[in-house]
Chains A and B, each alone.
Chain A
Amino acid sequence: DTGVSQDPRHKITKRGQNVTFRCDPISEHNRLYWYRQTLGQGPEFLTYFQNEAQLEKSRLLSDRFSAERPKGSFSTLEIQRTEQGDSAMYLCASSLGGGIAKNIQYFGAGTRLSVL
């Protein structure tokens, strides 16, 4: 499978715990994006990487959230001291980047987080 893969697919955690999600983009894609989607809403941008550099972060990304892409390949999104409001689907996408035609984003299946 050469698509975007996310792990785990589902995560149930207790409030206050830390969680980490992983995203493996399509191998030749330079750009990697994280989005969050709550029930009944469209996805919202969290952050994106160009190779290993984190180029933009949304104001939605509080201090409890951190994302890394250490070698410009896979990325991790960590949420510390989870809150019930963090319950959502976390989506990862990747694209070639470098111009409009190369900016089609391919999405993973998402990680659904439930904070109890």
Chain B
Amino acid sequence: KNEVEQSPQNLTAQEGEFITINCSYSVGISALHWLQQHPGGGIVSLFMLSSGKKKHGRLIATINIQEKHSSLHITASHPRDSAVYICAVSGNTPLVFGKGTRLSVIA
């Protein structure tokens, strides 16, 4: 069993829909990261959080430490949000990644 599990693996949405991607982890962590990966490989860090909730533009990330669960929400989704969204957790240093959720937003 992977230490970091994401769901769903694939997600197709219509433009404007509210999107939720879930991440569960089984190890103790100091922080959880949400990353975005576009075709071609480049990875961008969206959020790093260790408690509560963070918001940046149309993106919202929440974490429940007790339940070892995090969600990434995208409001008013747009085709440019199409990417792979990866959840990763960090203990002391190296990140442990989920397999990613491939999101396609259709106009």
**Bound CA span A31–B42, Å:** 19
The segment from B11-19, B52-60, B65-73, B94-102 that touches chain A is B94-102
Q: Considering residues B4, B30, B40, B95, which has the most beta carbons from chain A within 10 angstroms of its beta carbon?
A: B95
Query: Is the CB of B48 closer than 8 A to any CB of chain A?
Result: yes
Q: Considering residues B40, B43, B96, B100, which has the most beta carbons from chain A within 10 angstroms of its beta carbon?
A: B43
Query: Is the CB of B50 closer than 8 A to any CB of chain A?
Result: yes
Contact: A107 with B97, CB < 8 Å? no
CB neighbours of A105 from chain B (8 A): 33, 45, 95
- Residue of chain B at shortest CB distance from A110: B41
Contact: A41 with B94, CB < 8 Å? no
Query: Is the CB of B7 closer than 8 A to any CB of chain A?
Result: no
Contact: B45 with A33, CB < 8 Å? no
Contact of A89 with B41 at beta-carbon distance under 8 Å, contacts A42-B86, A42-B99 already known: yes
Query: Is the CB of A112 closer than 8 A to any CB of chain B?
Result: yes
In this complex, how many residues of chain A approach chain B with their Cβ under 8 Å: the count is 28
- Residue of chain A at shortest CB distance from B2: A42
Contact: B42 with A110, CB < 8 Å? yes
Contact: A42 with B98, CB < 8 Å? yes
Contact: B44 with A42, CB < 8 Å? no
**Bound CA span A58–B95, Å:** 12
In the complex, 28 of the A-B residue pairs with CB atoms within 8 angstroms, ordered by the A residue number, are A31-B93, A33-B93, A42-B98, A43-B97, A45-B94, A45-B96, A48-B93, A48-B94, A55-B93, A91-B41, A97-B93, A100-B30, A100-B31, A100-B48, A100-B50, A103-B48, A104-B33, A104-B48, A105-B33, A106-B45, A107-B42, A107-B43, A107-B44, A107-B45, A108-B42, A109-B41, A109-B42, A110-B41
* Interface residues in chain B, defined as those with a beta carbon under 8 Å from any beta carbon in chain A: 4, 30-31, 33, 35, 40-45, 48, 50, 86, 88, 90, 93-100
* Interface residues in chain A, defined as those with a beta carbon under 8 Å from any beta carbon in chain B: 31, 33, 35, 37, 40-45, 48, 55-56, 58, 89, 91, 93, 97, 100, 103-110, 112
